[in-house]
Amino acid sequence: MNAVQSVEISAIAHATDDLEKVQAALTAILPESLKGRQLFTRRYLEGHYRNPITTFEAKLTRLAEVEEFTANFFRRLTKSEKLRIERDLSLYSDVEGNLYVRIDKQKAFGGVVELGEEDPIRVRLKFNRLSGDVAQLMKAILGAE
């Protein structure tokens, strides 16, 4: 049984953002096999001050895609970033078995997967609670090279 059940990837583009660059940043964090596919849906919203906001969202649920994304994603994080997530696991996870990682959108545009808090790409990995202790499963994935 696979430890990660699904992956959700999302980002917000504000009026000043180039939508194609945001799309490129999102695509850059994907494994090669998923890059050619149209995974992201766009929703066009209006902000509090009537400013345009676009959200990008994708959900991976097919086992092969989830496994490939997960392996590729954690392979691209530095060892120190994986240790940071593992050390502060309670800040990155919830009791429902979700691991939340925020990636620097600007760095992702350049092909680098790096943790970032400001205007991030959000990645949520849902762990299968039937596979065992979720915290141990998360630590195992973080430790995998």
Report how far Cα 34 is from the mean position of its chain's Cα atoms: 14
Amino acid 18: pLDDT: 96
* Interval 46-59: pLDDT, tens: 988 899 999 999 99
Q: What is the average pLDDT across 12-32?
A: 96
pLDDT exceeds cutoff 50 at 105: yes
Q: Is the pLDDT of residue 113 over 60?
A: yes
Tell me the pTM: 0.92
Structurally, at CATH architecture level, domain 4-143 sits in 2-Layer Sandwich (3.30)
Instruction: Compute the mean pLDDT over every residue in the chain, rounded to the nearest whole number.
Output: 92
Distances (CA, A) of 136 to 68, 69, 85, 140, 143: 20, 20, 13, 6, 10
pLDDT at residue 91 greater than cutoff 90: yes
Is residue 34 pLDDT above 60, yes or no? yes
pLDDT at residue number 142: 82
- Residues with Cβ within 8 Å of residue 16, at least 6 apart in sequence: none
